[in-house]
Amino acid sequence: MKTIIEPFRIKSVEPITMTTPQEREQHLTEAGFNLFLLRARHVLIDLLTDSGTGAMSAEQWAGIMRGDESYAGADSFFRFEKTLRDITGFKNILPTHQGRASERILFQLVGGEGKVVPNNTHFDTTLANIEHSGALAVNLPIPEGMDPKNRHPFKGNMDIQALEALIAEVGADNIPVVMLTITNNSGGGQPVSLENIRAVRAVCQKHGLPFYLDACRFAENAWFIKMREEGQRDRPVREIVREIFDLSDGATISAKKDGMVNMGGVLLMRDDNLFQEATNLLILTEGYITYGGLAGRDLEAMAQGFEEILREDYLQYRIRSTAYLGERLLDMGVQIIEPPGGHAIYVDAAAFCPHIPAEQFPGQAVVCGLYREGGIRACEIGSVMFGQHETPSMELVRLAIPRRVYTQSHIDYVLEVFEALFARSDSLRGMRIIKEPPALRHFTARFAEI
């Protein structure tokens, strides 16, 4: 069969309702043209993020009922720990309430003034946590990763020469960890090859540096390796995943992505001493070691989610359905980051409305346009998100696909809205910020149209 169907059927539904153009205009104005400040009930198709927005399976809901809510030593923790041990091979495993909690614990321990942390591309919360510790976050993507039209199969790769140059420049003593984000979210949801992961590992080994993964989408990344990397096609995804984790010394994971839960995170550490320190910090700020700021039922759902994500029929459908959206957009002339990524399609907003300069936030103009046109919520990833820190090389709009939530007809509707907006893209207006917080401004800034 040619059609790759959703490998599930729907057991529980949630209505979504359309608003009128007048209502959307009012909602947008009240939200200060910041889609994060909209009420979710006023959104028809919500592509703001794939984080914590997925649908849980019947087995996960069953786990919710089974959850052991004992303060210490709950069965649910041991099921969670066993699952993560089986998948990653790590002995030292902590639950946290979400990915940034894992990042905060890690960088509170290894960050600080004078330290430098390289990554292929830091995710926004990773960057903010590193800087909050006083350290410097450095992005080292391969040059192909910066070119929207380049169809390199692993555009998420780290530039190995640039990593070597950075180590030579700042000194290995000042680099507490080297990180690699799989898949590279801020770099377009692009995968990292096994070859590149091995190469980063080798550089780290040579200089005695710990190698950490930001492993939020480890399964999607492994699927790309299986599909695109020579000699990997016949390996089970589970085996590729295990090799990736075997190469690393630790990982921060948001379980809201490939963990398929609405809330949860994981921190993995090879080093027993560091793990002991992390455990102490966890107890101080998140909760006891067998719940880490979560309910027992959350740990059950996570354990089940991390199993389900490795199902290859799911991964095939997941990556194919994201590609479907991306390929149709390309067909209608909308430039996206090519090739389509794993969890999201990234539209080149600078190309979508070339009349709007970067300092007037073309990405923000496009996300407001999509909401006005059809009640779709997308996320700006450009000068609004990163402009307080640096000048980003691309102005992007991310269409993130929640896991197991929308069907193909929802996506066909999104494509129709895009077609209409693209036809009148020259009428989109630039934006200016009228109010912003000191960091992570995209969440709460307010805008006015120019």
- Gap between the Cα atoms of 443 and 6, Å rounded: 32
Taking the least distance from each CB to ligand PLP, the nearer of 31 and 216 is 216
Nearer to ligand PLP, 83 or 181 (CB): 181
Task: Choose the binding region for ligand PLP from 66-74, 122-130, 281-289, 396-404 (rule: CB under 6 A).
Answer: 122-130
Q: How far is the CB of 125 from ligand PLP (least distance, A)?
A: 4
Answer for which of 88, 126, 193, 383 binds ligand PLP (CB under 6 A) is 126
Contact map string, positions 196 to 235, toward ligand PLP, x by CB under 6 A: ------------------x-x-------------------
Does 100 bind ligand PLP (CB under 6 A)? Our answer is: yes
Q: Which stretch binds ligand PLP (CB under 6 A): 79-87, 94-102, 158-166, 412-420?
A: 94-102
Whose Cβ is closer to ligand PLP: residue 266's or residue 310's? 266
Contact with ligand PLP (CB under 6 A) among 265, 362, 363, 369: 265
**Nearest distance in Å: CB 123, ligand PLP:** 3
Q: How far apart are CA 166 and CA 171, in angstroms?
A: 8
Question: Which residue blocks in 266-311 are alpha helix, DSSP H?
Answer: 272-285, 296-308
For residue 57, give the amino acid letter. S
- Nearer to ligand PLP among residue 190 and residue 304 (C-beta): 190
Q: Which is nearer to ligand PLP, 180 or 431 (CB)?
A: 180
* Edge-to-edge strands, sheet with 93-96: 93-96, 265-269, 250-254, 211-214, 178-181
Separation of alpha carbons 257 and 402, rounded Å? 9
Q: Which of 24, 256, 403, 441 binds ligand PLP (CB under 6 A)?
A: 256
Q: Where on the phi/psi map is residue 245: left (φ > 0), alpha (ψ -120 to 50), or beta?
A: alpha
The rounded distance, in Å, linking the Cα atoms of 335 and 345 is: 10
Go through 294-303 and write b for each residue having 16 or more CB atoms within 10 A of its CB, e for each that does not. bbbbbbbbbb
Region from 105-113, 119-127, 151-159, 241-249 binding ligand PLP, contact rule CB under 6 A: 119-127
Stretch that binds ligand PLP, among 121-129, 279-287, 352-360, 366-374 (CB under 6 A): 121-129
Which residue's CB is nearer to ligand PLP, number 146 or number 440?
A: 440
Least separation in angstroms between residue 180's CB and ligand PLP is 10
Alpha-carbon span 71 to 350, nearest angstrom: 51
Residue list 182-201, contact with ligand PLP (CB under 6 A): 185
Q: Does 125 bind ligand PLP (CB under 6 A)?
A: yes
Query: Is residue 185 a contact partner of residue 120, using CB atoms and an 8 Å limit?
Result: no
Min separation Cβ 356 and ligand PLP, Å: 27
Residues 6+ apart with CB under 8 A from 282: 94, 96, 105, 267, 289, 292
Near ligand PLP by CB under 6 A: residue from 28, 31, 34, 51: 51
Contact 206, 163 (CB under 8 A): no
Peptide bond into 392 cis (omega under 30): no
Size of the site for ligand PLP (CB under 6 A): 15
Residue 354 β-bridge partners: none
From candidates 107, 123, 223, 406, binder to ligand PLP by CB under 6 A: 123
Please provide the DSSP assignment of 217-230 as one string: THHHHHHHHHHHST
At 402 the three-state DSSP class reads coil
Figure out which of the listed residues 129, 254, 304, 322 binds ligand PLP, where binding follows CB under 6 A: 254
Segment interacting with ligand PLP, rule: CB under 6 A, options 14-22, 190-198, 251-259, 289-297: 251-259
What type of residue is 140? Answer: L
Site for ligand PLP in 289-308 (CB under 6 A): none
Non-local (6+) Cβ contacts of 266 within 8 A are 84, 93, 94, 95, 96, 102, 251, 252, 253, 255, 259, 302
Q: Which residue stretch of 123-131, 202-210, 243-251, 440-448 sits at the interface with ligand PLP (rule: CB under 6 A)? A: 123-131
* Cα–Cα distance, 75 to 422 (Å, whole number): 53
> How far apart are alpha carbons 186 and 34 in whole angstroms?
19
Which stretch, 22-30, 81-89, 93-101, 243-251, contacts ligand PLP (CB under 6 A)? 93-101
Chain contacts with ligand PLP (rule: CB under 6 A): 51, 98-100, 123, 125-126, 181, 185, 214, 216, 254, 256-257, 265
